[in-house]
Structure 1
């Protein structure tokens, strides 16, 4: 029993044989020519944000207010969440009182040491009393420094009850609910900045030697105008599964309609090679068959070709044609004329 592939291939040969001399000889033709063109490499890429973060709680408490939700745009330093601050405020007040007490004790210790320094030359106090006063003065100074450090820590903990955006961007996820009790380290919000974007792709190992500091990359997203950049980082280690090398291409800032997670095409060119390009109108597409009407001494014959890239109404021919061949400019017109 013949396979489906064999039957299909036989049918294509029969179709090609039946179309010899079918098309009229006065069809408009184009002469096949080759030209030296850059070797073009195209890779699949994904857009990602350079600045993306998940904010976590740096103190414990209950969620008092939520000012933003998913998909909201947030300005830098805007307050996005508030936590109850009863304990933190009390700790700050205690630290402030401790500092005031330490300052008062330090002032008294410094005055006592100065008095004894004046009395010691007169023999009114002993050397031991003077040394003790000096030790107490230094200890009081250290106590003031420790109280100041404790006050700074208490103030910072109090500030942690008001969570601010580290950069301008879009909220992608909210991890807490209003009224929920949270603990230190718990995730609060996730988001990314729209200002700095980059494209990430995997480069096959065979192209490593042709990429250098002068390589110009072009990025196309959903038919938009190409974005060109030489600002890239090529990783120096390969993925163990795919054996490809990751590349990050930094994009110009503040480009509109670029969003993380979007698919894109990343391309670059290197070297030169001889290629044949023909108009797309000259190609007849029949299921899996790509063919052109080749002009011969007996008329037009359907000739199968293997195609490559397509761009600007032109298509690259990898095999099936040679330079100076003549083909019908409109393959479908040739097919219709041949059926008449």
Structure 2
């Protein structure tokens, strides 16, 4: 019927209708292709770029996600132990200087002021000494009289012995008084007493001149010109300037990392001292080790010295709170790791050969601030191990991870 209808049309219109019909005719395969999924294609047809991207996205969504961790390859090696402890700087000597005699303060030295340094034997103050001058003169006179009496007694004793021999009597006299032996002893005792009194009087006079007993720093002066002091009155507070000492307490484990006490006390074991407040540093040496345990801390102490502390730049002052860092013995078989590698619970996380996480419990043998040094378990100590630089609390053993090697400065 269609053909009859087309024949009835004019020729030009019939040709147009036939062309339209031909354009809209599709094959059965083409019809099925219109309803196929976008990713499906006939065998042998090349895959388009958009199809490849879609397939790759689907694969990534189906694959399990791996956590990325930063690791450092740890290998056992020998490292010198590093010990840190804390202590307060104190002067070698600290003295409250007191008056030995009584008297009025006659004068003070110009440099007898708090904060100034003085040398050993340097004059600090003088007391009024007229009474002590008089006492010295009396003691000298007494000694002179006693010495004259002794000489006279010696002469009389010689005369008595001559008379006894010339008397024709044999043997010894019945009484020692005959030869004046007791009188001579009394005269000699009087001379000895007078000498002692003279020495005491001279010492009292010398004590009116108050001098420094050692090279010192004056921390406080307690007297003024015109004031009266009694024997025992405080004159000044002094601290020695020869050296500063720092006493630090160490645990038994820390002592085990140090050489023997004789080596430490030889005087050439260096120690770095750092001011806790401002970071200033000085170099000291170990001078002795205590041979007993503190009854409170149950620890032994190490004494460190800094020679001529006030001549240092800057000066190391008594009372400064310091961190002492010293090198110990060389220990074998240790890992050197960043300080962040040790978790709060004392565990280290590392990556196994099949890229899964595992952990071990350990503690640092020692540390030097930026690094910690641990002794690894024997099962992994002989092989390089990838240790996690900064573990997270969400880690669980067996988790599959992707590793990134840390830089050398981590």
> TM-score by structure 1 length?
0.69
SS in 1 for 2:81: strand
SS in 2 for 1:112: helix
Match of residue 246 from structure 1: 301
1:265 to 323, 336, 358: 323
Count the aligned residue pairs: 277
Match runs of 1:206-285 below 5 Å: 206-211=253-258, 212-213=260-261, 214-215=263-264, 216-222=269-275, 223=279, 227-240=283-296, 242-253=297-308, 256=312, 257-268=315-326, 269-270=328-329, 271-272=331-332, 273-277=334-338
Instruction: Tell me by how many angstroms 1:237 deviates.
Output: 2.4
The answer to whether 1:321 aligns with 2:389 is yes
Match of residue 142 from structure 2: 98
Tell me, yes or no, if the aligned pair for 1:120 and 1:130 is still in contact at 8 Å. no
Instruction: Tell me by how many angstroms 1:42 deviates.
Output: 0.8
SS in 1 for 2:292: strand
Instruction: Tell me by how many angstroms 1:35 deviates.
Output: 5.5
Gap regions ≥5 residues in structure 1 = 1-19, 22-28, 284-306, 332-340
How big is each residue's C-alpha offset from its partner over 1:79-135, in whole Å with a ceiling of 9 and x where there is no partner? Answer: 111122233222211111111111111121111222222222222999559626332
Match of residue 166 from structure 2: 122
Distance in 2, matches of 1:117 and 1:38, equals 86
Tell me, yes or no, if the aligned pair for 2:81 and 2:257 is still in contact at 8 Å. no
> TM-score by structure 2 length?
0.58
Match of residue 155 from structure 2: 111
Instruction: Tell me by how many angstroms 1:170 deviates.
Output: 0.9
Tell me, yes or no, if the aligned pair for 1:63 and 1:83 is still in contact at 8 Å. yes
Instruction: Note closer, same or farther for the CA distance 1:69–1:235 as it changes in structure 2 (3 Å cut).
Output: farther
Instruction: Tell me by how many angstroms 1:156 deviates.
Output: 0.8
Match of residue 231 from structure 2: 184
Tell me, yes or no, if the aligned pair for 2:115 and 2:219 is still in contact at 8 Å. yes
How big is each residue's C-alpha offset from its partner over 1:135-192, in whole Å with a ceiling of 9 and x where there is no partner? Answer: 2122111111111111111111111111111111210111223222222122211112
Instruction: Note closer, same or farther for the CA distance 1:231–1:123 as it changes in structure 2 (3 Å cut).
Output: same
SS in 2 for 1:170: strand
Structure ranking higher in strand proportion: 1
Larger Rg: 2
Tell me, yes or no, if the aligned pair for 2:106 and 2:226 is still in contact at 8 Å. yes
Tell me, yes or no, if the aligned pair for 1:30 and 1:329 is still in contact at 8 Å. no
Tell me, yes or no, if the aligned pair for 2:274 and 2:324 is still in contact at 8 Å. no
Instruction: Note closer, same or farther for the CA distance 1:239–1:65 as it changes in structure 2 (3 Å cut).
Output: farther
Instruction: Note closer, same or farther for the CA distance 1:131–1:64 as it changes in structure 2 (3 Å cut).
Output: same
SS in 1 for 2:249: strand
Match of residue 86 from structure 2: 44
Distance in 1, matches of 2:282 and 2:243, equals 17
Tell me, yes or no, if the aligned pair for 1:46 and 1:200 is still in contact at 8 Å. yes
Q: Which has the higher contact order (CA 8 A, sep 6+)?
A: 1
Instruction: Tell me by how many angstroms 1:267 deviates.
Output: 2.1
Instruction: Tell me by how many angstroms 1:276 deviates.
Output: 1.4
The answer to whether 1:88 aligns with 2:135 is no
Tell me, yes or no, if the aligned pair for 1:239 and 1:245 is still in contact at 8 Å. no
Tell me, yes or no, if the aligned pair for 2:336 and 2:371 is still in contact at 8 Å. no
Gap regions ≥5 residues in structure 2 = 1-66, 342-363, 375-386, 391-402
After superposition, the CA RMSD in angstroms is: 3.7
